Amino acid sequence: MTSPTRAALRTRRPECPGAGRRRASSPRGVRQDGAMPESTTGRAHDAVLRHIEDSLRSGALKLGDRLPGERALAEQFGISRASVRDAIRSLEVMGVVRSATGSGPNSGTIVVSDPSSALGVALRLHVASQQLPVKDVVDARIMMETWALERAATASWAQEQLDDARRLLDAMDDDALPSEVFTLLDSQFHIALSTLAGNVVVSTMMESMREAIRSYIDDAVTRRGAWGDVVHVLRNHHHGIFEAVEARDGERAAQLVREHIDWFYRQSL
């Protein structure tokens, strides 16, 4: 009996059920239900972040609005609820939303805007990693604050705004203030003056930079000692800066704040 040839063997293949019928396929990267599989989106929660950004830009979402729940967002984007939670946490860190459990008007995930807090946290971590030297942060602060006080001399601002800085100035004159309370008021005083320039980005960056190095300032003040001598000089500086701003003498205000910051950091850091 003659053995079958190779060609004959190749033609003898078992029949498969449904052979010859091609299955309908979805476009590459898209599930048959229309949702993007998480493996093709990089980090799945990016879809939620992009949606929030687009909605804020278009006005579909506004400050105070509440986001849909986790389940609704997961179904909308075809991703897991865990990925939705990751997105919400990212938005909280960035100061875009605030989440609270329970029921009532303050529960759920609400759109807010707290950029200085988010930037302050990021800057503080990078300062701690020593990738952003404290000295460079101080130099950047001097550049921004001197610009802000020069600009404030010709900007339009209400008397109430200057009164906010005056109240902080008066509060710092209390001899009984602990150093950590004084440095907190000091930070708020400088920010209040910088807002007179009318540039929200500059005042936000100022607040973030102050927040990023405030713990270093408190530690340095504690180590140095002789706080009574230091605070006396700081009060005199603050009053001089305030008087120059009130008189709309931008050049003098900028000069005084530069000397004030240089002096303090030479003493402290």
In this prediction, residue 263 carries a pLDDT of 92
Residue 100's H or E segment, with its range, is strand 97-100
Reported as a pLDDT band with limits 50, 70 and 90, residue 251 is: very high
The predicted model scores a pTM of: 0.70
CA-CA distance, 78 to 35, in Å (whole number)?
5
What CATH number is given for 40-111 in this structure? 1.10.10.10
SS3 state at 60: coil
Mean pLDDT on 93-101: 81
| Backbone torsions φ then ψ of 266, nearest 5 degrees | -65, -35
Residues 122-174 have pLDDT tens digits of 888 888 888 888 889 999 999 999 999 999 999 999 999 999 999 999 999 99
As a whole number, mean pLDDT of residues 248-252 equals 97
Count of helices and strands (H, E) across the chain: 11, 2
Is pLDDT at 95 greater than 90 in this prediction? no
> Would you say 99 and 88 are in contact if contact means Cβ atoms under 8 Å apart?
yes
Q: How far apart are CA 44 and CA 84, in angstroms?
A: 8
Residue boundaries of the structural domains of the chain: 40-111, 116-268
Mean pLDDT of 18-30: 41
Distance CA(227)–CA(223), nearest Å, equals: 10
Same CATH fold assignment for domains 40-111 and 116-268: no
Residues ≥6 apart with Cβ < 8 Å to 112: 63, 64, 95, 96, 97, 98
What is the predicted pLDDT for the residue at 31? Answer: 43
Burial class (CB in 10 A: 0-12, 13-18, 19+), 103: exposed
Residues 77 and 31: beta-carbon distance below 8 Å: no
The rounded percent of the chain whose pLDDT value lies above 70 is 81
Residue 15 predicted with pLDDT over 50? no
Give the model confidence (pLDDT) of 58-90 as tens digits: 999 888 888 888 889 888 888 888 888 888 888
The hierarchical CATH code for the domain 116-268 is 1.20.120.530
Q: What is the pLDDT of residue 105?
A: 63
